Amino acid sequence: MNTLIIGNFIAFIGCILMVAVGFIKEKKKILIVQCFQFGIQGIANLILGAYAGFISGMISIVRNLVFSKINSTLSLKLLFIAAQLILTMNPNSFNLIECLPVIATVGLTWFIDTESNITFKKVIIVTCTCWLIYDFSYSNYVAMSFDFFTIISNFMGIKMIQKDKGAA
């Protein structure tokens, strides 16, 4: 029971950053803030036994750091996708729930170089939906709640971008 409380408390800290990302308009800044979020939430996932979530978070940190410094290429994206699949998909403990962080991370990696901030936010909405289900399955109720709030904040972020474009 203590690990459940500790894991959810640590997840709460990461979740504050996760929701804040929804209000950031520039992709480069989103990627940097997500690194901190992934690190904190990775620790929570490790405590809760959600190992695919931990691995996905660590790969995402490296991916975000690389892609915040250099432009993504097809080769780099495929390298990160392959790393995600190889490191996460353990045939001895495979189940469908473990696929959700993989799907989320692969999806975000594939679309990370989109020029459209609106498209990028839509991808975040889809990936957070995967995480919402995954977090529920590992009793990471705080993260699950914030996954929902992140989905909402990204919808709001899209509206803010559309409003800014309309005002320009």
What's the Rg (C-alpha) of the chain?
Answer: 15
Rounded alpha-carbon distances, angstroms, from residue 55 to 38, 44, 50, 52, 119: 10, 12, 9, 5, 25
pTM greater than the 0.85 cutoff: no
pLDDT digit string (tens) for 47-64? 998 888 899 889 989 988
pLDDT of residue 64: 87
Residue corresponding to tokens 């997840």:
11
pLDDT of residue 21: 77
Q: Which residues of the chain have pLDDT under 50?
A: none
Domain ranges of the chain: 2-167
